Amino acid sequence: MKRTLCVLLLAVVAGGPLVARSAEPAAAATAAPAAPAGGETGDAVTQHTVTIDGRPIAYTARAGTLALKDGNNVETARVFYTAYTTGGTDRPITFIYNGGPGSSTMWLRMGSIGPVRVAAPNGTPSAPAPYRIADNPYSLLDKSDLVFIDMPDSGFGRIAPGKEKAFFGVDQDAAAFGQFISNYLTRFDRWNSPKFLFGESYGTTRSAALADYLVGKGIFLNGVVLLSSILNFGLDYGNGDPIAAGDWAYVLYLPTEAATAWYHHKVANAPADLPTYLREVRSFALGEYLDALAKGDALGAGQRDDVVRKLSGYLGLPQRFVRNADLRVSYDRFQRELLRSSGQVVGRLDGRFTTYDLDRASNEGPAWDPTDSAIDGAYTTAINQYLRQTLGYDPPIPYRTNIYDIIYAGDSSWDFSHDRRYPTNVAPDLADAMTQNPHLKVFSANGYYDFATPFFATEYTLKHLNLSPQLQSNITFGYYQSGHMVYLNDSALVQFKSDLARWSDAALGR
């Protein structure tokens, strides 16, 4: 199941609903994939054509693994990837990955800017198989070669037995991806190619740490795409504890709650234009609302009444509920409460998705994410059919869509310390990379209905990097009427591709 980023964190820390599915029998857990027939080193290499903007583009697809080694030159893992190249070693190349930590990259590979895409529902549950996998006219292959990387031990990749701790942590993960990129550049003679990173969810955490790590290795990037970002975990609900995060989390989640209430027609007299409406909500959140929360018990009755009334309007919830919540409505309660009268719960990864509730009296977060249940079947089927049949990479082991059960088995849990500090905060890493490499451009893509990584928290983080004004202008923001996976909305994907194409051209000085 798709469990990107804080879904995993909240489940582990707060005892939430994460129930990871075992991907394979225990006996096969550390088996290395048998290499299929294909390229010189066992890779599967095939030729294809995709039409983008009316222009046919011939490309080579390569599915295979690259080895990672320790300081003693001993192999510690084989990382699975798929690369799409159109020829020329000086062409731009983009390294792409999902997050978790623990997710494979099947989501971005099969849904976003790759050369193929599975048809998935837009805000509604998908039906069972068969699913349609087709060429993707919104692929970024017209602008850059694309390399989709599954994190170590996911997909068809495997970590050597007993080596998990060398990979399961913020800093360990960045080093692993850094070694993969360096090895790929060497193997395929791509050192002089313009280079981009593209991470989603925890993948943005990885990108910030990785960008700084690569600078230290002499690898300077042209650009970084941050899709649905979390860089400073201290701005979340304390990774499961609302009290630990203080009042900032309520302020930074409010615009996403308001957008979701707007989408479900729970906001009275709301303007038709969502971006205009959310500018008003942001102003209230950082102004009157933050001031009221800061006053705590000293808040006067008149001001409290005014804030209750406005919050009730933005949230689409009764004033009594807002007052009883002491002006602090966490997103999991909001998920339950917004559509309670109809017995439905809204999604966390994408507030447009809904599911019927089995416990309509509960005040706790829902047992599963409606977004997950709506898309898991389509993506899991698509990745297996595409890799095994279309690309011809068919080892006799399961494709691991995630490895949450492996990460949190026994004593191999993820190390969330970064530079030996908690909570994880890689924003300084991004600032360091941008300062050492003043040509580095950053594109921050955000879904309005995303509760996993709310866009207002991303704005706050990226506007507090302590950069010079000249470098701050290297950051570009994009907003989409979708959720965590903005590509689930076809119209949002069209806009996203257009924005990425324009941004990457600018990053390359075109």
pLDDT tens digits along 448-461: 999 999 999 999 99
Structure tokens belonging to residue 452: 């996993």
CA distance 59 to 145: 9
- The length of the chain is 510
Assess contact for 172 and 151: CB atoms under 8 A: no
What is the pTM (predicted TM-score) of this model?
0.91
Q: How far is CA 507 from the centre of its chain?
A: 22
Could you give the C-alpha distances from 273 to 161, 251, 287, 352, 481, in angstroms and in order? Answer: 54, 22, 22, 17, 11
All CATH 3.40.50.1820 domain ranges in the chain, comma separated: 6-235+377-507
Region of poorest pLDDT, from 39-48, 249-258, 259-268: 39-48
> Which stretch of DSSP H or E encloses residue 63?
strand 55-69
Amino acid at position 133, single letter: I
- If DSSP codes are grouped into helix, strand and coil, which group holds residue 219? coil
Residue 293 has pLDDT above 50, yes or no: yes
User: Cβ contacts of residue 353 below 8 Å, gap of 6+?
Assistant: 123, 124, 125, 346, 347, 369, 370, 371, 374, 483
H/E stretch holding 170: helix 170-187
Mark out the alpha helices in 365-426 (DSSP H runs): 370-385, 404-407
Looking at per-residue pLDDT, the higher value among 422 and 385 belongs to 385
What's 435's DSSP letter? H
Q: What is the Cα Rg of the chain in Å?
A: 22
Contact 310, 287 (CB under 8 A): no
pLDDT at 26 over 70: no
Does the pLDDT at position 17 exceed 50?
A: no
Arch. (CATH architecture) of 6-235+377-507: 3-Layer(aba) Sandwich (3.40)
Spatial separation of the C-alpha atoms in residues 373 and 121, rounded to whole Å: 11
Say what percent of the chain tops pLDDT 70.
88
Phi, psi of 83 (to 5 degrees): -120, 140
- φ, ψ of residue 69 in degrees (nearest 5): -130, 155
- pLDDT the model gives residue 365: 64
